[in-house]
Amino acid sequence: MSALHEQQIPASGAAGLAGVAARDAAGGRRVRRFSADLSAVGEPALWAFGGALALGIILIAGFLAMIAWNGFSTFWPKPIERVELTSGEVLAGVATRGGPYRPGESTLAQLDDETRAAIAANDGFASRTLYQTANFDLYGDDFRWVSDFEVADITRPEDFFYIERQQWGVFIGRIVSLVVDGEQVEITPDRLSREQRAARQRFTEIRGLERGDIGGINHLIERERLAIRRAEIRLGEDSPEAQAAIAEAQARIAELQAEFQTLQQRVNAIRAEDRTTRITFAEVNGQQVETELSQVVRFFPANALSLPDKIGIYLSRWWEFVSAEPREANTQGGVLPAIFGTVAMTLLMVVFVAPFGVITALYLREYAKQGRVTSIVRISVNNLAGVPSIVYGVFGLGFFAYAMGGTIDQLFYPEALPNPTFGKGGILWASLTLALLTVPVVIVASEEALQAVPRSMREGSLACGASKWQTIRYIVLPKALPGIMTGMILAMARGAGEVAPLMLVGVVKLAPALPVDGFAPFIHLDRSFMHLGFHIFDVGFQSRNSEAGKPMVFVTTVLLLALIITMNATAIYVRNRLKRKYASGEF
């Protein structure tokens, strides 16, 4: 008998089953055991599915843990080590990472027999440490590898400072002198901190005058210049109306230039005062650098910090990161313009993609005649989701920027030509390009949500005398909103992380002005913008020193993930509220 059929055994007879089996065995009869093929009950597939799920969770958790560890530890202050080498050379720096490596033949030839023997005993490997020596203006590099066999002595002097500068990056060394109002003063921690705060206030005041007041005057002067050009084009250069408009604009320009000169004199006065407060640093070998104290962003004795001091520095660095502009080729400072650009572009993309996606799904599901043409449209929409994103970028640059933007410039901004206004990359064209990229996801999700609404609800509404549009508006759409929101969430998650198409249609390394400011029309959709995803690419692969940009890559990735999670969590919260509301029948 090739197979046995299992039978249900009553609970009352379970106790006697063992006795029956024992009697059968005692009587010499053959006992048939109940068995089951594992493949028949799906045990191997169950273990395979569970293992795949566990592996996926482990990989995701490991990736997030690596990003979080490297990102959140970036801003923690680390000690400065003074390293004396066997050659007599001395360097100072912060140990960033280390590991084994295999020295080359030329390096081994310069070592003594004992060191070579130790390396040979270790399978030809030696250990080394990467130090952030900083002082780029003196050394021409920020980092240096030091092998363990090169080190003679390592100490941690308490008078070494880690100094973050506005230009030239970090300086590691001692503070030699402080000059205030042209006179050298005694260096004390309180005096140094007080003078540095005053100097930074002067720096902020100068920056505010240059970018706020002077920048506003330059904007108004440029607007008057364009008004002159517009009058010449529309009214004729020699017409009396044009001459009157030109004279009025020139008078206004003269007034603005007078205001500009007044503000510039104020800026020059503050700069002259700022130059009287200077500080001098000395690196470990005695080379000195002098600069204005206002150029010092932050400084601290790295080897003499208490735990509260470290926490304070850590939090101040995070605040600078999320509230300030980048500096030193984006490898230091903050990413506020990139945060603003990412959020603004994503929200604009949602504004554009939502109506197009939902309207298309409504037509395909509720109005279009189901047939071959409709099937072809659905297949085309699904295929669009698989098109590489860079193709959308090329299309956006050619169609949106050059075709549509160029036409807009010719019709509405002829006075600015040949300088393009909308005929170049900008946040508007970037948002439309990403909307085009993500609209297939929204269409598919919305159509599935509409299809999930029971047909009986449509028929009941129509039977009560409602029109088709009233049925869709008050019955179908409210019930389908949670599913439509799911499509929006997927679109936001993909659009916020895209970089390739943005590189062609508006994203830049450093945006001098945000798309939103105090000048009419206040929202400037023609301007370029910064993006966290492109910032990661730029710092990681385009900076002058990849090691200097590596910490910023991890911390920006943490911020980008947190931003995407926050936006998605908000959308999920709204979706769940809609689901609870309409599940209870409240229309």
| Residue whose structure tokens are 């301007």 | 527
Query: Taking phi first (over 0 means left), then psi (-120 to 50 degrees means alpha), and beta for anything else, what does residue 252 get?
Result: alpha
Same fold, 81-170 and 336-583: no
pLDDT in tens, the chain (587 residues): 444 344 444 444 444 444 444 445 444 455 445 455 655 666 777 888 889 999 999 999 999 999 999 999 999 999 999 999 998 999 999 999 999 999 988 888 888 888 889 999 999 999 999 999 999 999 988 899 999 999 999 999 999 999 999 989 899 999 999 999 888 999 888 999 999 999 999 999 999 999 888 988 998 999 999 988 888 888 887 888 888 888 999 999 999 999 999 999 999 999 999 999 999 999 999 999 999 999 999 999 999 999 999 999 999 999 999 999 998 888 888 999 999 999 999 999 999 999 999 999 999 988 888 888 888 988 998 888 888 899 999 999 999 999 999 999 999 998 888 889 899 999 999 999 999 999 999 999 999 999 888 888 888 988 998 888 999 988 898 888 888 888 888 888 888 888 889 999 989 988 877 787 777 777 888 889 999 999 999 888 887 777 888 889 999 999 999 988 888 888 888 888 877 876 654 43
pLDDT at 571: 83
Q: Which of 151, 378, 161, 382 is nearest to 279 (CA)?
A: 161
pLDDT at 277: 94
Q: 135: which residues sit within 8 A by CB, 6+ positions away?
A: 170, 171, 172, 173, 283, 289
pLDDT at 22: 47
CA distance 53 to 196: 55
| Residue whose structure tokens are 């047939």 | 371
* CATH H superfamily, domain 336-583: MetI-like (1.10.3720.10)
Q: 336: which residues sit within 8 A by CB, 6+ positions away?
A: 322, 323, 324, 325
Judge contact between 332 and 142, C-beta under 8 A: no
Write down the domain spans for the chain: 81-170, 176-320, 336-583
- Among the four given CATH numbers 2.60.120, 2.30.30, 1.10.3470, 2.40.30, the one describing domain 81-170: 2.30.30
The pTM score is 0.84
pLDDT at 547: 82
Number of neighbours of residue 483 by Cβ within 10 angstroms: 21
Residue 313, token pair as written in the block: 């520095």
CA distance 493 to 54: 24
From the number of C-beta atoms within 10 Å of its C-beta (0-12, 13-18, 19+), residue 296 rates as: buried
Dump the DSSP string for 555-567. Answer: HHHHHHHHHHHHH
pLDDT at 586: 42
